[in-house]
Amino acid sequence: PKVHGGILADLAKESHRADLTRSGIEPFALVIVNLYPFREVAARPGARLEEVIEMIDVGGPAMVRAAAKNHRHVGVVVDPGDYEAVLRELREGGALRDETRFALAVKAFAHTASYDAAIRDELNARLAGTTANVSGALPAPAARPVLPGRLTIEARLVQELRYGENPHQGGALYADTSDISGTVAAARQLQGKDLSFNNIVDLDAAWRAVNEFDRPAAVIVKHNNPCGVGVGASLKDAFIKARQGDPTSAFGGIVAFNRTLDPPAASEAVSIFLECLIAPGYEAAARDVLAEKKNLRVMEAGPARDLFRGLDVRRVTGGYLVQDWDTAVVDMTKARVVTKRRPATEELRALDFAWRVAKHVKSNAIVLALTDRTIGIGAGQMSRVDAVRLAIMKSLVPVKGAVMASDAFFPFRDGIDEAARAGVAAVAQPGGSLKDSEVIAAADECGMAMVFTGVRHFRH
């Protein structure tokens, strides 16, 4: 009581001053609090729940909120970055100005709100890995995260951008307040012009896609869609394959690599005009190669980590749509074969590759591929058959013998007929159409192999 009484006392009221005197309580003019390092402990690999719980500060936030509430008489400091300015004002004027105390109070309430949000997010993430259910109902059979009854989005400003998606829109990048190492929001810019809003959107799409692959990989993105993807024995090999998938669209694109960039890959990358490049790291000699392209934006993300932490949140008018991330993985060797002909081993490898790419292409999405590269991508079409036609049209090499992945089922046989005429050998799709039997029959008629994955990858 003596602490909180001294913080909360309204010195403008005689009754409060009398209570302080009677109780022997000294009023506080300044409260400085550093909260327990909850985020830092929670971010440690293998941190136990007991350790995390121990770092939930109780007394600190209570004092901060009390001081912020009584900011007319008390200054509250929660950010060491403010120490110098506060000390300077105290030295010069002997006390903090009213407007300073008010600004510090606003910052303090934001600080405790952020702290509580971090606790909620961490505990909610841990709850998602259990069968616990706060409502008392039976847990859902699928291992899905526990969606919060109330959503609080906590983020900090990373940088203001020149503009948003278009020059007449404002824009900025914000980052989660949790550990975000290995992500686009935490990536370090090593050189080049300032990042734009659209650069960041495309960098994120490329970074997510390239980390689908274990082998050395390169992904080239334009307008939030992969236009070329390749894997190989080296990053140079992977990039060449990705570029060959659609060299016209690759011009002015964003490229992502999933390994530390070496000089051969760097030299190959700068052989065409690129807007941005992102990789986990860079060899010194590769940095020298990239430095020759002064305007090229080069981002160092570090090893990819927790790219799908938390929830996928999207803004709609009047609210938010929230879902868990699409992290479904399909073992193509266990996918259900629905045609008379089974896919050959090489076809299954190619289907696995194409399926991983299709997950990152805007719906309706069709991907034509070999075992190590895309040869045609049909993205964002309003009808699936048009996506097939577009993918075939985009291919610069014969489609005969290639495989096709579709992010969702074929509603009619027309998409299969188009693929068959081009020479597609095998298809992976989720299945589930009312006309699956007709689609399967179309594949059987031309000796095409088809598997149903049972997983849909819509992306809007």
Choice among 73, 107, 193, 223 that is catalytic: 223
**pLDDT of the residue at 145:** 59
Catalytic, 241? Answer no
Q: Report mean pLDDT in 10-residue bins for the chain, 460 residues.
A: 90 90 92 95 90 96 96 96 95 94 96 91 76 39 64 87 96 88 95 97 98 98 97 98 97 98 98 98 98 97 87 94 92 96 98 98 98 98 98 97 98 98 98 97 98 96
Report the CATH superfamily, name and number, of domain 332-452.
Answer: AICAR transformylase, duplication domain (3.40.140.20)
- In this structure, what are the phi and psi dihedrals at residue 346, rounded to the nearest 5 degrees? -65, -35
Task: For 351-386, give the DSSP string.
Answer: HHHHHHHHTTSPSS-EEEE-SSBEEEEE-S-SSHHH
**pLDDT of the residue at 148:** 76
**pLDDT of the residue at 329:** 92
Beta strands in 91-236 (DSSP E): 155-160, 172-176, 188-191, 217-222, 225-231
Beta strands in 266-369 (DSSP E): 274-279, 297-300, 312-316, 319-323, 336-337, 366-369
Question: Measured between alpha carbons, how far is 66 from 329 in angstroms, rounded to an integer?
Answer: 49
Buried b (16+ CB within 10 A) or exposed e, 299-322: bbbeebbebeebbeeeeeeeeeee
Choice among 4, 16, 69, 293 that is catalytic: 69
Domain boundaries, the chain: 2-128, 155-300, 332-452
Judge whether 155-300 and 332-452 match in fold.
yes
The residue length of the chain stands at 460
All residues at 6 or more sequence positions from 138 whose CB lies less than 8 Å from its CB, including other chains: none
Question: Measured between alpha carbons, how far is 165 from 35 in angstroms, rounded to an integer?
Answer: 38
What six digits make up the tokens of 326?
């699409």
Question: Measured between alpha carbons, how far is 391 from 417 in angstroms, rounded to an integer?
Answer: 14
Helix (H, G, I), strand (E, B) or coil at 175: strand
Catalytic, 223? Answer yes
**pLDDT of the residue at 144:** 60
CATH topology of domain 2-128: Rossmann fold (3.40.50)
Buried b (16+ CB within 10 A) or exposed e, 42-51: bbeeeeeeee
Question: Measured between alpha carbons, how far is 148 from 367 in angstroms, rounded to an integer?
Answer: 36
**pLDDT of the residue at 140:** 42
Half-sphere exposure (CA, 13 Å, Cβ side) for 259? 22
CATH topology of domain 155-300: Cytidine Deaminase; domain 2 (3.40.140)
- In this structure, what are the phi and psi dihedrals at residue 87, rounded to the nearest 5 degrees? -60, -40
